[in-house]
């Protein structure tokens, strides 16, 4: 009798495990399909980032060449006090 109960419990556990594996496999298949759809977008994003880095590098080189050619540093604008602008915009007291 005890063997029958143990076998029944094991059978229920195996069936539950089989159902879980089937559901997990379906979810993995959906994730793979989504990755195939998103892949080209991610590649384009990476290419844009690389192009941006190259552009910044070229800009830096050109700035250095211009600085050496003219002999003077370019003017750098002062940063604005953002907290002051915020308080003015929202009516708070300006420090």
Q: Are 87 and 95 in contact (CB under 8 A)?
A: yes
Is residue 82 scored above 80 in pLDDT? no
Region 13-27 average pLDDT: 98
Q: Break the chain into its structural domains and give their ranges.
A: 2-70
pLDDT given at position 79:
65
pLDDT band of residue 78 (cuts 50, 70, 90) is: low
Distance CA 68, CA 60 (A): 12
Interacting residues of 67 by C-beta distance below 8 A, sequence separation 6+ = 73, 74
The pTM for the full model equals 0.47
Each residue's pLDDT tens digit, 31-66: 999 999 998 898 999 999 999 999 988 888 888 888
High-pLDDT (> 70) share of the chain, %: 82
The beta-strand segments (E) located in the chain are none
């Amino acid at each position: 009798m005890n063997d029958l109960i143990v076998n029944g419990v094991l059978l229920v556990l195996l069936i539950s495990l089989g159902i879980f594996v089937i559901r997990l496999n379906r979810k993995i298949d959906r994730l793979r399909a989504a990755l195939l759809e998103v892949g080209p977008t991610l590649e384009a994003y990476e290419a844009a980032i690389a192009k941006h880095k190259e552009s910044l590098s070229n800009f830096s080189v050109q700035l250095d060449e211009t600085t050496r050619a003219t002999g003077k540093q370019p003017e750098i604008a002062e940063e604005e006090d953002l907290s002051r602008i915020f308080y003015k915009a929202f009516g708070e007291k300006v420090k």
